[in-house]
Amino acid sequence: MKDQILVGLLIVLLAMATVGCQNQPGKLQTFLVGPELRECVGVAPMMCMMVKKETDEDFLFFYDQIEGLDYEEGFTYELIVQVDEVENPPADGSALQYTLVEVVEKIPVE
């Protein structure tokens, strides 16, 4: 009898965890942002941040914006960013939205 109750509780907890995961916000990622903007071409010529996700990677052009980030050239940043999928993105827009969660470090470049 106790085993049946425990199995039943386990099933209920697993079901709740599965339903809860479906309503979670987007994925959190760490971004390392370089100290200067660079010329790049998206839909039109523009200035892009240089971003990488791992320290041993090369910086790559970042064509989007990070909502909530007040970027200043001359600093390197370590950021925690929430990445969400955009429903029905415009034809010339990104399918992802980036929102600043935390500035972990902001270090002046000498």
pLDDT of residue 16: 39
What does the pLDDT look like over 39-74, one tens digit per residue? 999 888 999 999 999 989 999 999 999 999 999 999
Average pLDDT, the chain: 82
What does the pLDDT look like over 74-107, one tens digit per residue? 999 999 999 999 988 877 778 899 999 999 999 9
pTM of the model as a whole = 0.72
| Residue 88 tokens, joined | 């029905």
Above pLDDT 70, what percent of the chain? 77
